[in-house]
Each structure stands twice: as structure tokens, then as C-alpha cells.
Amino acid sequence: MPTSVSAKHHPHDDAPDTASSFRRLADLPPGPERDTLRGRIVEAWLPMAHRLAGRFRSRGESFDDLRQVAALGLVKAVDRYDPARGNAFESYAVPTITGEIKRHFRDHMWTLHVPRRVQDLRNRVRFAAQDLAQTIPGRRPTVAEIAQQANMSEEDVLVGLEALESFTALSLDAELPGSEDGYSLADALGSSDPALDTVVDREAVRPRLAALPERERAILYMRFFGDMTQSRIAEQLGISQMHVSRLISRCCGRLREQIMRDAAA
């Protein structure tokens, strides 16, 4: 009888129940049957791997490449997982996949050679700044505030901030992210960097997002930060996809009007 992966799901809808398949896999000798079952398990867990890749999609690497790296991490997790230890595969796979993605960034995305200590400082500074942005909306945190939040010296904060600027380097002929008219970095020389406007926009939107009703705020988070489709959001909330679409359009329109009104005041 052919072995199949169970359709039963865990609380996360992209985490299938493959416990029996893993036990079967552990008992199979090398050969076509084992390879087929292994492939089915990997395929069943790919949605979760892609979701994990989506957490890193705004860090300068293409999403397709991140999905491939996550899939590689998933394959490694499937091959190394031992069901006899009694731990759920998900608890083993998540750190394995995430670690594979982080290694990809560390090994391939740093244009300048940066010591591991400096990379760690960079991450601590970035996370502290993100946390502070929730409590001091409307402005960027100071070096002293980041140092206190991350339990670092101000000198280390300055090193971490400098490392933030060394993560990637682009050709002057490279098209700016989000540009649809071929605008390149070279076109920005001698004038204000258009990317600064994006920072201002983010800070302007942040307090207004917090003021939205809980459901609308959750929908925007799932759509734009969780990379969830409207259909999946609708299924999770128990409403129609059309209703989700209307809510997203209404919320985005309301935020845009508020920002434009404040800017004109």
C-alpha cells in the first residue's frame, strides 16, 4: 500500500501532521520508496519554509532566492530529524531553516568583510531600534536610547549603526528599489536621497496604524507583514475575500488621507 502524508494539520495551517510518515521514513532502507516518501514530506512542509523566508524578504535579497535557501534548510531538517527523540518536527525544522537563511545572509550578502562581532552589534542595534520605534513614534531613537535598550555602550551602538550601512552595496547604475522609471543611484547624486522619504512615510504611518481597530490592524499586518493572501486572511477570520479586500482598501485610503491632511496642515 503506498504511503502518503497525512492531511491532518497542527494549529499552524502550514504545519502538516507528518509524524507517522517520519517514523516510516526512519524504517525504510535507501531506495526509491524512501526517496518518494522523503519528497512528499518535504513538499508538505514547503509552505512553512516559504513563510519563514517571507520574514526576511525586506533585507535586500530576492524573495525567490530566499525561498530556495529556506527549501534547502527544510531538506536538511528532514534528513537530520530523528523522530525517536520525541520532539515535534516543527520545533526542529524552524530553527534549522531560519539558521540556513541567516547563514546565507552572513556568507553572501555582506559586500564588505565584517567581523562576526560587528555583525552581532548590527543586529542588536537594529532590533533595539525597532523596539524603540513602538514607544517613541514620530522620531528616530538616539544613540543613548538604543544603548540603554540593548544594554550596550554608545561606542558599540555607533559601530553597529555604521555596520548597517555596510550590509550591501549597489552599482551607481542600479535601479532604486520601488522605482518604475529606471531611476538609478547615479541620478540621486548631488540631491536628497529619495529613500529618505520612505523612512519618513513609515514613521508617519506607524502611530496611525496603532490607532486602527484591532481587526483592521490585524488584517494589514497579515497582508503586508505576514505576506498572506486575501483568501487566506478571509479564511482565518471567517469572512469573505471581498470583505477583506474592501477593508484593506478602506484602511489604506484612510491612512493616506490622514497623512496628506496632516502634511498640509
170-192 per-position pLDDT tens digit:
554 555 555 555 555 555 555 44
**Residue 6: per-residue pLDDT:** 45
The ranges of the chain annotated as CATH 1.10.10.10 are 110-169
What number is the average pLDDT over the span 43-65? 83
CATH node for 19-109: 1.20.120.1810
Q: Which of 89, 39, 46, 87 is nearest to 69 (CA)?
A: 46
Q: Which three cell numbers stand for residue 106?
A: 552572513
The pLDDT confidence band at residue 166, using thresholds 50, 70 and 90, is: low
Q: Which three cell numbers stand for residue 230?
A: 486575501
**Residue 201: per-residue pLDDT:** 58
Whether the pLDDT of residue 255 is over 70: the answer is yes
Bridge partner list, 101: none
Q: Which long-range contacts does 29-32 make (Cβ < 8 Å, 24+ apart)?
A: none
Whether the pLDDT of residue 76 is over 60: the answer is yes
Whether the pLDDT of residue 15 is over 80: the answer is no
**Residue 59: per-residue pLDDT:** 67
User: At which residue does the C-alpha cell 514547503 appear?
Assistant: 46
Q: Which of 104, 99, 114 is nearest to 164 (CA)?
A: 114
Q: Which fold has domain 110-169?
A: Arc Repressor Mutant, subunit A (1.10.10)
The ranges of the chain annotated as CATH 1.20.120.1810 are 19-109
